[in-house]
Amino acid sequence: MSAAHPAPPHEDDIVGRVYDARLVGRLKEYVLPETPLLLASTALMFVVMGAQLMQPWIMKLLIDEHLLKSDAAGVARLALLYFLTFGVELVARFGQLYTMERTGQNVIRDLRCRVFAHLQSLDSSFFDANPVGRLMTRVTTDVESLADLFASGAVSLLGDVVKLCAIVALLWWLDWRLALVTFTAMPVLFVLSVMFRGRIRQSYRDVRRRIARINAFLQEAIGGMLLVQLYRREPEDRRDFEAINRDHRDAEVRSVVYESTFSAVVELVGILATAAIIWYGGGRIALGVLTFGTLVAFLEYTARFFGPIRDLSGFYAVLQAAMASLERLFDLLDTEPTIVARAPHAALAPGAAPDAGATPGAGPDAGDAAGRIVFDRVSFAYVPGEEILHDVSFAVEPGMTMALVGATGAGKTTVIKLLLRLYDPTAGRILLDGRDLKEMPPETVRRRIGVVMQDHFLISGTVAENIAFGDPLLSRERIVAAARQVHADPFVRAFPRGYDEAVRERGGNLSVGQKQLLSLARAVASDPSILILDEATSSVDTETELLIQDALRVVLRGRTSIIIAHRLSTILAADRILVFHHGRLAEAGPHAALLARGGLYARLCELQFGTRDAGPLRAAADRPLPAAEAPA
């Protein structure tokens, strides 16, 4: 079962543009609530910048007004002032870094929770098509690459640009002729950086693409290593790997060439500016139109000018990674669930018979209704064209226990999934107390049903939390009562911490039987009117088996129940039995009648219990079925 939501084949290889206005626009929604923090960060950034820009100026004053006039006290005063600006710069910088980090962390926390919450709302078919591993990447790695974006300073990038402009303006104001000469090399830098930027970007992209190939290759090669060894393909695989590894190395070396050359060129232009200042400024000092202080200030300002330019190129890689992640995250957030409540007047599926023993129309309100279930000509396909259920109709009266039997793949589990509204039928309808499931919000449907599935899903938490799985606010008394009802209470009390005993990952510290009993306790904890049970095929010891059987007897009493039965005792206790065969409802009726018919059910019984006789069958009722050996 797959492909209801086909994923693009190489989704994880998206390399991404460096900047995508649409994506950034959507990110705004998450950033806007952090406006106060952002404003504070921006304000602090200006304080940092102001302090930084004041420092060369103070130096100029120190030299011109005091040092060259041999005023030692004035020198000390200005040195102190310099220190003060330094202190202000540092405190403000700390504040700026911290507020920025805080903004980023808030944004990614919200985004992460949003993505997780959205995943909770998506259809089961979505999860059929998307492996858990990939979805986990969305909640972890993809969100993290946004954190890098904030930490590396989207705001300081803006700050850098403002700072560059401010320095140019200041130098112009100090001595526009010298400023002109200082910046003669700037157009060269500009042309070079435009030339290099494209190459650097391309080389980063190459590196990313090739590391993705290495990843894909390794994933497959390591996962299939034993097969490769059995078929002695190691040399060929090694040769292939070396080729893509070499490719990656070459791309990396290329990016080193561009990066090193670029940063060296920026430095060159910086030092050339120093030379220009000495050459032209020196002449102007000789003419007496320039002071030593201004010359030093020029040198200091230009030193502060070229640092940020060098940092800019490193920012690309971070930005590119963040854009690719954002794209994947928003794609996920754009996936809409289809299992939602629909208006009651929604048309019936074409071809659906209006009545199959059902009484449609306005049924009683959900809350305390009896729990009458009707399948009305239901068909279903996980993948369009591959129908799993064909035209299935049956009714389960309130309080009745219905057993579903059939070979693996006959469609029993699908019936349960449809009843839980994990999927909607492709044709036909399902009625709960007279109301079409499609008209009810899925939560309303599910709240009325207690479920025990085959794979006893336990969360890492305490025993009590696992019983209160469906209702975290359940009182301790009701948790204990539920456990007592299904005979789980004694073994839970035997734990050192009783109900507060931690359940290890996937219930590692519990036996199979204990897991079954806990799942049963969970299903009845909120006292649902309907109970769905997919009986476990795994065998447990005789004592536990008896406990489970007795617990079942208790919890089935007074509830509408549908059971995928693997135990003979369960089948015998059922009011009616539905026999599924290749997605169709083949036979229906009580055990004795079906057996007497000598059809599918009789053969199934023989298959599962080794006899067609009713006599030994009853005797066999106390032992569990052997593990299913039916064809897959």
Partner 1 sequence: MRFILRQLRRHRRDFGLGLLFLIATNGLTLLVPWILKRAIEALKEPGGAREASRDAAAIALVALVLVIVRSMSRLYVLGASRKVVAEVRSALFAHLQTLPASFYARRRTGEIMSRAVNDLMLIRSLFGPGVLNVINVALLYTSGLAMMAVIDPVLTVASVLPYPFLLITVGRVSRTIHQRSNAAQEQLAEIGNKAQENLSGINQVKAYVREAAEVGAFARLSEEYRRRNLSLAMSRGLIVTLMGGLGGISTVIVLWLGGRHVIDGTLTLGGLVAFMSYLAILTGPTVMMGWVLGVFQRGLGAIRRVEEILAERSDLPGDSLPGPGPDLGGAVAFRGLTFAYPGGPPVLRGVDLEVPAGATVGIVGRVGSGKSTLVTLLGAVHPVPRGMLLLDGHDFNDLPTADVRARVAIVPQETLLFSRSIAENIALGAPGAPRERIDAAARVAQITRDLEDLPQGLDTRVGERGITLSGGQRQRVALARALLLDPRVLVLDDSLSSVDADTEEAILAGLRQFMKDRTTFLISHRVSTVLGADRIVVLDGGRVVESGTVGELLAADGLFAALHRRQQIEREMEAL
Which of 561, 529, 556, 557 is closest to 367 using CA atoms?
Answer: 529
Alpha helices (runs of H) in 347-411, residue ranges in sequence order? none
DSSP secondary structure code for residue 566 in this structure: -
Restricted to residues 517-536, the positions that interact with partner 1 (CB under 8 A) are 522
- One of 37, 44, 49, 78 touching partner 1 (CB under 8 A): 78
Strand 576-581, strand 584-589: pairing: antiparallel
Residue 192 or 395: which CB sits closer to partner 1? 192
Instruction: Using the minimum distance from each CB to partner 1, give the nearer residue, 169 or 303.
Output: 303
Return the range that interacts with partner 1 (CB under 8 A); candidates 30-38, 188-196, 280-288, 348-356: 280-288
**Residue 215: how many CB atoms within 10 A of its CB?**
12
Element (H, E) at 401: strand 401-406
Question: Number of residues in contact with partner 1, rule: CB under 8 A?
Answer: 141
Q: Which of residues 298-337 bind partner 1 (CB under 8 A)?
A: 299, 303
Q: Does 50 bind partner 1 (CB under 8 A)?
A: no
Q: Is 253 in the site for partner 1 (CB under 8 A)?
A: yes
User: Is 127 an interacting residue with respect to partner 1 (CB under 8 A)?
Assistant: yes
How far, in Å, CA of 522 to CA of 526, rounded?
Answer: 8
Q: Could you give the angle at the alpha carbon of 21 between the alpha carbons of 19 and 24, nearest 5°? A: 90
Minimum distance from residue 146 beta carbon to partner 1 (Å)? 13
| DSSP 3-state of 534 | strand
**Sole residue written with tokens 């536990």:** 544
Whichever of 11 and 550 has its CB closer to partner 1, that residue is: 11
| Window 562-581: residues binding partner 1 (CB under 8 A) | 581
Query: Which residues, at least 6 apart from 56, have a Cβ–Cβ distance to it below 8 Å?
Result: 296, 297, 300, 301, 304
The answer to the question of residue 285 lying near partner 1 (CB under 8 A) is yes
- Report the C-alpha gap between 585 and 470 in whole angstroms: 32
Give dist(CA 155, CA 284) in Å, integer: 39
Please say which residue, 512 or 586, places its beta carbon nearer to partner 1: 586
Among 54, 61, 91, 312, binds partner 1 (CB under 8 A): 91
CA distance linking residue 125 with residue 137, whole number of Å: 19
Cα 406 to Cα 22, 146, 375, 395, 602: the distances in Å are 52, 50, 18, 18, 11
Q: Does residue number 508 form part of the binding site for partner 1 (CB under 8 A)?
A: no
Distance CA 425, CA 381 (A): 8
Would you count residue 387 as binding partner 1 (CB under 8 A)?
no
Does 585 sit near partner 1 (CB under 8 A)?
Answer: no
**Is residue 289 a contact point for partner 1 (CB under 8 A)?**
no
Query: Which residue in 5, 24, 124, 209 binds partner 1 (CB under 8 A)?
Result: 124
Torsion angles phi and psi, residue 136, rounded to 5: -65, -35
Q: Binding to partner 1 (CB under 8 A): which residues in 3-32?
A: 6, 9
Give the chain's length: 632
Site for partner 1 in 128-187 (CB under 8 A): 132, 135-136, 139-140, 144, 147
Quick one: 102 or 478, whose CB is closer to partner 1? Answer: 102
Binding track, positions 388-407, relative to partner 1; x by CB under 8 A: -------------------x
The span from the CA of 529 to the CA of 174, in Å, is 85
> In the bound complex, what is the minimum distance in angstroms from residue 345's beta carbon to partner 1?
26
Taking the complex as a whole, the smallest distance from the CB of residue 514 to partner 1 amounts, in Å, to: 17
Candidate segments 224-232, 360-368, 491-499, 546-554, binder of partner 1 by CB under 8 A: 224-232
Kindly identify the residues of this chain, within the stretch 589-618, that bind partner 1 according to CB under 8 A. Answer: 599-600, 603-604, 606-607, 610
Cα(81)–Cα(77) distance, integer angstroms: 6
Choose one: 219-227, 325-333, 340-348, 367-375; the region binding partner 1 (CB under 8 A): 219-227
CB nearer partner 1, residue 246 or residue 553? 246
| Eight-state DSSP code of residue 427 | E
Terminal Cα-to-Cα distance of the chain (whole angstroms): 14
Establish if 231 lies at the interface with partner 1 (CB under 8 A). Answer: yes
